[in-house]
Amino acid sequence: MKTFKMGGVHPEENKISNDAAIQVIPVGAQMVVLMNQHLGAPATPVVQKGDKVKVGQLIGEAQAFMCANVHSPVSGTVAKVEPVKDAFGLLKPAVHITVEGDEWMETIDRTPDIKRECTLEPAAVVAKLKEMGIVGLGGATFPAHIKYSVPEGKKAEYLIINAAECEPYLTSDYRVMMEHAEEICIGISILRKALGVPNAYVGIESNKPQAIARMQEVARQFEGIVIEPLKVKYPQGAEKQLINAVTGRKVPSGKLPIDVGCVVSNVGTTFAVYEAIQKNKPLIENILTVTGKKLPTQHNCLVRIGTTFADIVKHTIGELPATTGKVISGGTMMGKAIVNLDAPTVKGNASVLVMDEGEARRAPETACIRCGKCMNACPMGLEPYLFSSLVKAGRTEEAQQSNILDCIECGCCFFSCPANKPLTDEIRLGKNRVRAMMAAKK
Amino acid sequence: MTQQILIAVLVLGAIGAFFAVVLYFVAQKFKVVEDPLIDEVADALPGANCGGCGKAGCRAFAEACVAQGNMDGLRCAPGGEPVATRIAELLGCTVEQGEPQVAVVRCNPSFCGEKRRANYDGLTSCAFAASVFVGESGCAFGCLGCGDCVAACQFDAIRMNPQTSTPEVDEAKCTACGACVKACPRRIIELRNKGRNNRRVYVSCVNKEKGAAARKTCDNACIGCSKCEKVCPVSAITIADSLSYIDFTKCIACRKCVTECPTQAIRDVNFPSPAKKAEPKPAPEALEAPKVEVPKAEPVAVPQAEPAKA
């Protein structure tokens, strides 16, 4: 079985919510929709207080290059356009909507039929992705229309679908594959034609045999979809690692996947692409895993974007256990702890992971013993211990020369460190400093 | 034997003399003329290399002083007046010293210590914490409590208070070099005039949220109610973005704003006794009293009450 060559670790998989079917979470009374749910500049609100909106109506318009449209996930009246605290407590521009009924835009096809045929030209597909506000749902929330506009002089040779789901605990991609395999394959076909590549490769880690079987069964009905089982290793789902695993190619430092002829898309995104292109449905829903070792029940749920984390908890597990230490958005390796549970969910949120006090606590840091485990674990071939000392000494320029910006912040170094040094934190601090230094030099 | 010794001495002597001549000319050619004054000025400086003057270190400051010939725009905060007078003496110029200053931490979180809203266990660095989340106190403007300012201080003048997890400045040690001001990612530390008898009044908050939101964030937050602005007799207070700011060059430390502030956001330091509530004025109290007494059902009573007071 294929996998990427360099580094990587194998954390406890903990896919305990695998068997929980996707349940629909009811809409709250008041929804808050953030304007920056994607990588890049925030969208500009195009509604005002008192405006009536329908489900799927455009409320935030992408005006900058790196930006994505935002649509209303509910129908009702705009209560205010005012910043709100996001999951990490930081103020972000947002539109507040008081929910009234559930009236959808007429253009959205809400029938359960599966539409296979797509006659759109590649340029029209990209335009529609932009209109529907599709972003990459693998975590980075990169606007899809930019990814699928291949720059002049470059040629896409491979379309790689990321279904590795290498993060521990997360099962939302797995559930989407089990329940919507056909839609995913249609989405893949649309993207494959838009890029003009002969084959699309779907990378699935071998710890999901049922998903592999299901996808293989459905993919047979389609042209040019190859299912690629991969050996379980974290961070297989990272773009550059997945390219290496599937094609054997290596993205050079500072380059993008398209420079080696690859375009990588998350499996959840392909489902959103299907809904956008074939059903005219903008990205207004999210599939999240609600999980935790100490929780009585495990869930996978479909929520409207803007539902608060507190509401999701209320409708799935009832309330947080008294021993809760941390609630994490994302998996254990790259996820971030949520400070404000009353914050709305945004595009790309993949989970609500509840950890109890014992699990959540970081072990105390001790001195580096120069064992080199972090170097062996680093999938980018970097030297995390070196960055740690350079950042501590404030030697930003040297850190830049040692390619600190190549770090993908996967957390393998911190995971493998026997001294429990917060290596990933230090590297992220160093990256911030390098970026600030580069901005100052410009 | 004697001859051999003689040859060796002569040969080595000749080689030595040759190189001495070469070295002499090379030394003349590449001579660096340095003003001896630079060394003298550098010796007069504290030598902490704190960077508070904006130069790379004390020697760079000395070079700048000598190159300029006077001390205009150059100031060594840690050295203070004695150092400035000494350098002025060396340079033969006059020097105008500004008011002595001190670093002031403008944050007094109510949700800290036991009451903190989150428990941060990541890298102990304010710069990093600021890029990750709002902070343990829940305030997006306030202190993050990781002590970047403490690490930046070369004079051991700033320490974390473990109870409040906010820094405290030791006035005696602080030289107002400004290193902590630069180190703080939230910009909560300010250099302010020490004031007469070290008595200062300042707004201990930098929260720019609107009143209600700020109040929700922190009990001690400035809510921008502008009561202090109105009560200030010298117009030293300005309100911008729902945040009050006291101009220390105008403030006369009368402490009227301190008693007026509804959230205790304005702090006074080094005053011998706590600020007293202003004497209640009889007139406004009398005006207010009947308004309360008037039953809501009888609005007619209001015009009756007014002439009685007049």
pLDDT in tens, A331-356: 899 999 999 999 999 998 999 999 99
A174 lies in some domain? yes
pLDDT tier for residue A312 given thresholds of 50, 70 and 90: very high
- The pLDDT, as a whole number, for residue B310 is 33
Is A394 near chain B, with CB under 8 Å? Answer: no
- The pLDDT, as a whole number, for residue B299 is 38
In sequence order, what are the beta bridge partners of A353? A291, A328
Residue type, A16: I
Q: Six-digit token pair at A409?
A: 């912040």
A261 lies in some domain? yes
For strands B266-269 and B200-203, give the pairing: antiparallel
Question: Tokens 């007494």 — which residue?
Answer: B293
Is A362 near chain B, with CB under 8 Å? Answer: yes
Q: What Rg value do the Cα atoms of chain A yield, rounded?
A: 21
Co-location of A138 and A256 in the same domain: yes
H helices of A50-180, where?
122-131, 144-147, 172-179
Residues with Cβ within 8 Å of residue A250, at least 6 apart in sequence: A240, A243, A244, A260
Is B122 near chain A, with CB under 8 Å? Answer: yes
Question: Tokens 């700033």 — which residue?
Answer: B158
- The pLDDT, as a whole number, for residue B143 is 93
Residue of chain B minimizing CA distance to A426? B123
Distance from CA of A380 to the nearest CA of B (A): 22
Distance from CA of A338 to the nearest CA of B (A): 9
Co-location of A152 and A271 in the same domain: yes
Is A24 near chain B, with CB under 8 Å? Answer: no
pLDDT tier for residue B277 given thresholds of 50, 70 and 90: low
Residues of A (323-342) whose Cβ lies below 8 Å from B: 336-337, 339-340
Report the alpha-carbon distance of residue A57 to residue A83 in Å, rounded: 20
- A10 neighbors A236 (Cβ within 8 angstroms): no
From chain A, pick out residues whose CB is under 8 angstroms from the CB of B125.
425, 429
Question: What is the percent of chain A with per-residue pLDDT over 90, rounded to a whole number?
Answer: 83
pLDDT tier for residue B197 given thresholds of 50, 70 and 90: confident
Report the alpha-carbon distance of residue B67 to residue B65 in Å, rounded: 6
Cα angle B69-B74-B78, degrees, rounded to a multiple of 5:
125
A159 lies in some domain? yes
Report the alpha-carbon distance of residue A363 to residue A217 in Å, rounded: 45
Residue of chain A minimizing CA distance to B135? A89
Mean per-residue pLDDT, A7-18: 93
Residues with Cβ within 8 Å of residue A359, at least 6 apart in sequence: A293, A294, A325
Which of B118, B122, B133 lies nearest to residue A425, judging by beta carbons? B122
**Predicted complex ipTM exceeds 0.85:** yes
Q: Is the pLDDT of residue B309 over 70?
A: no
Residue of chain A minimizing CA distance to B136? A339
- The pLDDT, as a whole number, for residue B305 is 37
Report the alpha-carbon distance of residue A356 to residue A368 in Å, rounded: 28
Distance from CA of A242 to the nearest CA of B (A): 27
Report the alpha-carbon distance of residue A68 to residue A52 in Å, rounded: 22
> What residue segments make up the domains of chain B, in order of their start?
36-91, 110-191, 195-276
Which of B118, B123, B135 lies nearest to residue A425, judging by beta carbons? B123
Nearest Cα to B265, choosing from B308, B190, B215? Answer: B215
Is B121 near chain A, with CB under 8 Å? Answer: yes
CATH code of the domain in which A271 resides: 3.40.50.11540
The SS3 call for residue B223 is coil
Domain that holds residue A416: 373-441
Which of B123, B131, B133 lies nearest to residue A422, judging by beta carbons? B123
Q: How far is CA A287 from CA A172, A276, A301, B106, in A?
A: 6, 16, 6, 43
- The pLDDT, as a whole number, for residue A8 is 93
User: Same CATH fold, B195-276 and B36-91?
Assistant: no
Is A91 near chain B, with CB under 8 Å? Answer: yes
- The pLDDT, as a whole number, for residue B113 is 79
Residues with Cβ within 8 Å of residue A368, at least 6 apart in sequence: A385, A388, A419, A421
Mean per-residue pLDDT, A115-119: 86
A89 and B138 within 8 Å at the Cβ level: the answer is yes
Question: Does residue A235 have a cis peptide bond before it, meaning omega lies within 30 degrees of 0?
Answer: yes
Q: Is the pLDDT of residue B293 over 80?
A: no
Is B117 near chain A, with CB under 8 Å? Answer: yes
- The pLDDT, as a whole number, for residue B276 is 67
| Residue finishing a domain among A279, A308, A339 | A279
Is A154 near chain B, with CB under 8 Å? Answer: no
From chain A, pick out residues whose CB is under 8 angstroms from the CB of B135.
89
Q: What Rg value do the Cα atoms of chain B yield, rounded?
A: 31
| Residue finishing a domain among A279, A311, A329 | A279
Distance from CA of A215 to the nearest CA of B (A): 37
A327 lies in some domain? no
A90 and B133 within 8 Å at the Cβ level: the answer is yes
- In the CATH hierarchy, which fold is given to the domain comprising B36-91? 3-methyladenine DNA Glycosylase II; Chain A, domain 3 (1.10.15)
Instruction: Write the DSSP symbol of residue A192.
Output: H
Interface-testing mutation among A80, A82, A84, A88, with chain B (most B C-beta atoms within 10 A): A88
Co-location of A252 and A390 in the same domain: no
Which of A89, A361, A433 lies nearest to residue B140, judging by beta carbons? A89
Which of B122, B128, B134 lies nearest to residue A89, judging by beta carbons? B134
- A119 C-beta neighbours (distance < 10 Å), count: 6
- The pLDDT, as a whole number, for residue A166 is 92
Is A425 near chain B, with CB under 8 Å? Answer: yes
Question: What is the percent of chain B with per-residue pLDDT over 70, rounded to a whole number?
Answer: 88
Report the alpha-carbon distance of residue A320 to residue A317 in Å, rounded: 7
pTM: 0.83
Distance from CA of A90 to the nearest CA of B (A): 6
| Residue finishing a domain among A279, A303, A320 | A279
Q: Six-digit token pair at B27?
A: 């030394």
- The pLDDT, as a whole number, for residue B3 is 92
Is A356 near chain B, with CB under 8 Å? Answer: no
Report the alpha-carbon distance of residue A410 to residue B275 in Å, rounded: 55
- A155 neighbors A261 (Cβ within 8 angstroms): yes
A429 and B127 within 8 Å at the Cβ level: the answer is yes
A362 and B127 within 8 Å at the Cβ level: the answer is no
B135 and A336 within 8 Å at the Cβ level: the answer is no
- Which of these CATH numbers, 3.30.70.600, 3.30.70.20, 3.50.50.60, 1.10.3720.10, describes B195-276? 3.30.70.20
Is A393 near chain B, with CB under 8 Å? Answer: no
Distance from CA of B23 to the nearest CA of A (A): 38
- The pLDDT, as a whole number, for residue A190 is 93
Q: Is the pLDDT of residue B297 over 50?
A: no
Report the alpha-carbon distance of residue A338 to residue A330 in Å, rounded: 10
From chain A, pick out residues whose CB is under 8 angstroms from the CB of B209.
91
A219 lies in some domain? yes
Higher pLDDT, A68 or B284: A68
Q: Six-digit token pair at A54?
A: 């329908």
- In the CATH hierarchy, which fold is given to the domain comprising B110-191? Alpha-Beta Plaits (3.30.70)
Interface-testing mutation among A425, A431, A435, A437, with chain B (most B C-beta atoms within 10 A): A425
Distance from CA of A216 to the nearest CA of B (A): 40
A140 lies in some domain? yes
- Number of domains making up chain A: 2
Higher pLDDT, A82 or B75: A82
Distance from CA of A426 to the nearest CA of B (A): 7
Mean pLDDT of chain B: 84
pLDDT tier for residue B296 given thresholds of 50, 70 and 90: very low
B107-129 pLDDT, tens digit each = 999 888 788 888 888 899 999 99
A136-170 pLDDT, tens digit each = 998 889 999 999 988 888 889 999 999 999 999 99
Residues with Cβ within 8 Å of residue A300, at least 6 apart in sequence: A17, A20, A21, A22, A23, A171, A172, A175, A287, A288, A289, A290
Report the alpha-carbon distance of residue B309 to residue B286 in Å, rounded: 8
Distance from CA of B142 to the nearest CA of A (A): 12
- The pLDDT, as a whole number, for residue B198 is 87
- The pLDDT, as a whole number, for residue B130 is 92
B134 and A88 within 8 Å at the Cβ level: the answer is yes
A212 lies in some domain? yes
Which of B127, B135, B140 lies nearest to residue A91, judging by beta carbons? B140
A166 lies in some domain? yes
A189-246 pLDDT, tens digit each = 999 999 999 999 999 999 999 999 999 999 999 989 999 999 999 999 999 999 999 9
